[in-house]
Structures are given as structure tokens and as C-alpha cells.
Amino acid sequence: MRRLRQMLTFLALSASAGLLWHETRALRVASRPSAASFDPALHRLGAAETAALPLASRFDHPLGSEHGALTYNARPFRVARHLGDDLNGIGGGNSDLGDPVHAIADGCVVYAGSPGPGWGKMLILAHRVPADDPVEPPRVIQSVYAHLQDILAELGARVRRGQRIATVGSAEGQYLAHLHFEIREGPYINPGTGYADTPLNRVSPEAFIFQHRGAPAHQLNPPP
């Protein structure tokens, strides 16, 4: 009788352990991200992807002319914790709604979508930029275009400087029309946030374009 009780106890414990293992495995599988749910915003450009980026030797402004003519900066970089520039057509209000947004340099589309509340539609281009020191490897620079009305370039597409890639929007009516424009350093593709106490990996768009324009100040010409 004692031997039978021991056997029944052993079988009950084995069954409980097996059930617990199956439940734990099912939980792991259910929580594992599938290929279909992969978020490109969490992607980091690898060495091969970086080497394949177009080399950006000249930078122009994304709105208006190559010099940014007929535009103004309504909220510059780091004013009230802002991580980019808010660019408007000279008429203000919604007068620039639907105006063309241009790629500032040769690059590749590494994000195209609507990342979350407050952003509207967003496009991110990655550029390979020669380092200031010729001994150093090229840098990865990202240009970010947000609050868009329409996205005109697909994820993975290679674009040329001056190419029309989007139109000015209002983040689905959340703001008056303008282009939220950022310059970021590094290979991590993440929409992130538009405001922070520190600059994070952002730099002044206006200063960056001025320093890296790669053309005489008077030169205005279409993309090659």
C-alpha cells in the first residue's frame, strides 16, 4: 500500500512538472517577436549596411530653395528643449501645407511610417558622410522629416539630393502645417522624441548644413 502511494505521488508530481513546462514554453513562444511584427524603428545599421549607404558630399535645405529661401525657422534647435528645427513657408499658418520636402543629400530611406502620437508621418534618411579627419571612417548621419502629409519615398529606396521625398503636413491636424526637421548622428534608427533636456544624438540642422554644404554659398543648381 505504501509503495502504491509513493508511485501515485511520483506520477502526480511528474504530471504537474510537465504541465508547468508546457505553460512556460507557450509563454516564451507567445512573447517572442515574430518577423511580421518586427519594428524597423528598433534597427541598428550594421557595417555592411553602412558601407552600402550613398556617400553624401553636399547638403542642401529640405524646404524652399537649396539655401532655404522663402522659409523661416519657427522653433530652432534646443529652444524650449526642441530637438530639431520647425520649418515653415514664408506665408505662415497653413499656407505651406502640401509644399514639397526635398532630400538634403544622397541617402537611403531607413524609416517610413507613423511612429506615434505627436509625430504624424515620418521619414528618416541615412547618409554616409566623410569624417572631418580623413584617417577616420565615414560617419552615419540621419536626416529626419516629420509631421508629413504624404510620404513619397519607400522604405529601402535610395534617394538623391534635391529629390522630392514628402510633402509638408500638420501631423493629421494636430498643428499648423510645418516641417519638423532633425539631424542625428549614429546608426540607431529610432523615431524617439522631439523634446528632451539634453540634445541626445541630435545636432543643430542649420549649423550642420552650413558646415557640410559642400558647395559655394552662391551656388544654386539641381541635383546631379
What is the number of structural domains in the chain? 2
Query: For 76-114, what is each residue's pLDDT tens digit?
Result: 999 999 999 999 999 889 999 999 999 999 999 999 999
Judgement on whether residues 55 and 161 belong to the same structural domain of the protein:
yes
Name the residue with cell 556617400. Answer: 55
- 50 φ/ψ sector (left φ>0, alpha ψ -120 to 50, else beta): alpha
Judgement on whether residues 83 and 106 belong to the same structural domain of the protein:
yes
Judgement on whether residues 18 and 113 belong to the same structural domain of the protein:
no
Euclidean distance between CA atoms 22 and 96, whole angstroms: 58
85-89 and 121-129 as β-strands: parallel, antiparallel, unpaired? Answer: unpaired
Judgement on whether residues 15 and 76 belong to the same structural domain of the protein:
no
Judgement on whether residues 7 and 94 belong to the same structural domain of the protein:
no
Helix intervals (H) in 32-106: 47-52
Flag whether 72 is in a domain.
yes
Query: For 35-91, what is each residue's pLDDT tens digit?
Result: 444 566 668 898 899 999 999 999 999 999 988 999 999 999 999 999 999 999 998
Judgement on whether residues 24 and 52 belong to the same structural domain of the protein:
no
Flag whether 73 is in a domain.
yes
CB 74 within 8 A of CB 169: no
Judgement on whether residues 25 and 128 belong to the same structural domain of the protein:
no
Judgement on whether residues 45 and 28 belong to the same structural domain of the protein:
no
Flag whether 223 is in a domain.
no
Q: What is the sign, positive or negative, of the torsion defined by CA atoms of 204, 66, 113, 139?
A: negative
Grid cell, residue 173, equals: 491636424
Provide the residue range defining the domain that includes 15. 2-32
The mean of the pLDDT values for the chain is 85
Give the pLDDT of residue 21.
39
Judgement on whether residues 109 and 141 belong to the same structural domain of the protein:
yes
